[in-house]
Amino acid sequence: MIQIDDAGSGSLVGGTCIAALRLETNEYYYDFIPLSYYQNGNFYNKLYLHKSKDIVIELLKKLGTNKKEKITICQGYMFDVARKYLSESQIKWTNSKIVDPLQSRIEDTFSEYVLGLGVPVQYVKYIKYPLHFHRILRWVYADYSKRHKLCKTDWKSFKKYGNLDVSVTQDILYKRNYTCLKCGRRIKPGTKVKVLKYVSNCPNTIYLHLNCSAAP
């Protein structure tokens, strides 16, 4: 049996991962719907659904599936066009909530992908709601000129919160355990810092090293 699932469609940053796994052999393949499908008006045309279908076709080819093999596909909207294609091609499939082993495998794949984009590990792992929109938005505003390019800018939520007025001031940070969201390194207590403030769903304050320009 083959499982097919997606990951990252709800993440503000990055594209969407599509993956397939054959349970009997643990063969695993994946590809990404590029971020460009969520930018510059492409999202409104739902081209990402057709790209998802194209990726599903390629993954099934890599797995060498046949029309007799059972395919279980995630019941979400991401596979609306793919399901239609499978039916028209007389390939048997069923809708289902995808669980392990594919669920964990694809989530790990997407996590490594967004970590590669520079998203802090604490935003991706070790928290109850990884890649939460407003949490990630703080990371974006910490280096907006570079990071807004990594966002699904066609989203209504980004249209609403992705170009807010940000005040920039300076202060001395005496609190402990703060990390600069631009470079990822710790801010020493008593250090002069740059302070960014904006209001999204709530007031937000971001502390950065005063002259930060380095990547972690």
Domains of the chain: 2-116 (3.30.420.10), 133-209 (3.30.1740)
Q: What pLDDT sits at residue 216? A: 42
pLDDT at 130 over 90: no
Q: What pLDDT sits at residue 52? A: 97
Q: What pLDDT sits at residue 66? A: 82
Q: Are 12 and 136 in contact (CB under 8 A)?
A: yes
User: In sequence order, what are the beta bridge partners of 15?
Assistant: none
Using 50, 70 and 90 to split pLDDT, how confident is the model at 165? very high
> What value, to the nearest 5°, has the Cα angle with vertex 116 and ends 39 and 43?
15
DSSP secondary structure, 12-68, as one string? SBS-EEEEEEETTTTEEEEEEE-GGGGSTTTGGGTHHHHHHHHHHHHHHHHHT--TT
Q: What pLDDT sits at residue 215? A: 46
Q: What pLDDT sits at residue 122? A: 83
Model pLDDT for residues 15-33, shown as the tens digit of each residue: 999 999 999 999 999 999 9
pLDDT at 88 over 60: yes
